[in-house]
Amino acid sequence: MLGPTGIEVGDVIFGAGSIGGFGSSPATRGWGLDAEAGRRRLDEAAARGIRLIDTADAYGGGESERVVGAWRPGHDQLIATKVGNVVGADRRGVDLSAAHIRRQLRTSLDRLGRVDLYLTHQPDPATPPEETLETLAGLVTDGTIRAYGCCNVDAPELERLLAAADRMGVQRPGWLQNSFNLLDRGDERELLPLLRAEGLGYTPYSPLAGGMLSDRYLDGAEPAPRSRLAAGGVDYVHAADVRCRVRRLAAIAREHGVSTAALALSWLRRHPAVTAVIVAPSTEAQWQAVDDMVDLDDAAAAAIGAL
């Protein structure tokens, strides 16, 4: 269940952020999955019983939403999309004003057919949070969307949003979506305790740190051109201490009879604050890590986390 929303999403979500490019950046348009490959990954997600497809209005310049929307008829998956990132020839930034949200939601509805779950892509320092919250809560009230949440928010920002929603008497955001994995655990310090105390959901993205938490780079290989790790500009692959820890993770994975990626996903799925893990396989073969997730006991989870 996704926090207090009353919506069941399962424990794995398919992330469509690689369709048409990697995320919102114009620099990666045309990278990742083309439309045909995107439809195949969506079919594979549906075949595994994955209930929720996650996209955004800015992914691939709108191509991700278009492909998901063309695929959706005949499928009963829930659809989540995002608003806020403004990526254009004449403007870059974040806009969570009421006018922008309503305008972009009309575009998303045209592309997708419906929107079940709606997320702010990142905070907008220029728009009062009250304006954003009132707009999103109103969309739930009038039945345009079923629930809303936030992405890329830290603990102080979440506290401000919750306090503002309570002060206004409007529905709170139901869940958060941030980067979180074995190499990126900053949310554990303040944000995740707050989420659990408030009963909110948590659907982390980048569960494999762009592929670093896999067997792909154990031998020192460089990220392939136009790969997710190259697109992210993350220097994990050149950090000797990170390589060492991932090799130790790989050894534990072998003890469990699974890949390093499967074990990293297993640890994340088991995390007490995590509602569902967002996965984004680029190839059919990469589903193997999802299929091979194992149930970890307390001792195994603690040993993996200690790395």
CA dihedral 32, 35, 36, 42 (to 10 degrees): 80
**278, 59 Cβ separation under 8 angstroms:** no
Give dist(CA 199, CA 288) in Å, integer. Answer: 32
**214, 208 Cβ separation under 8 angstroms:** yes
Tokens for 233?
A: 């500009």
Place of tokens 């269940």: 1
DSSP, res 83 = E
**224, 230 Cβ separation under 8 angstroms:** yes
Give dist(CA 112, CA 145) in Å, integer. Answer: 12
Q: Within a 13 Å sphere around the CA of 21, how many CA atoms are in the beta-carbon half?
A: 18
**Residue among 285, 293, 302 nearest 259 (CA):** 293
**Residue among 197, 207, 304 nearest 265 (CA):** 207
Buried-exposed string 294-307: b where 16+ CB fall within 10 A, e elsewhere: bebeeebbeebeee
Give dist(CA 55, CA 67) in Å, integer. Answer: 10
**Residue 35 CB burial class (10 angstroms; 0-12, 13-18, ≥19):** middle
User: Any catalytic annotation for residue 236?
Assistant: no
Integer-rounded Cα Rg, in Å, for the chain is: 19
Catalytic member of 59, 118, 148, 205: 59
Q: Which residues pair with 79 in a beta bridge?
A: 53
DSSP, res 187 = G
Q: Which residues are catalytic?
A: 59
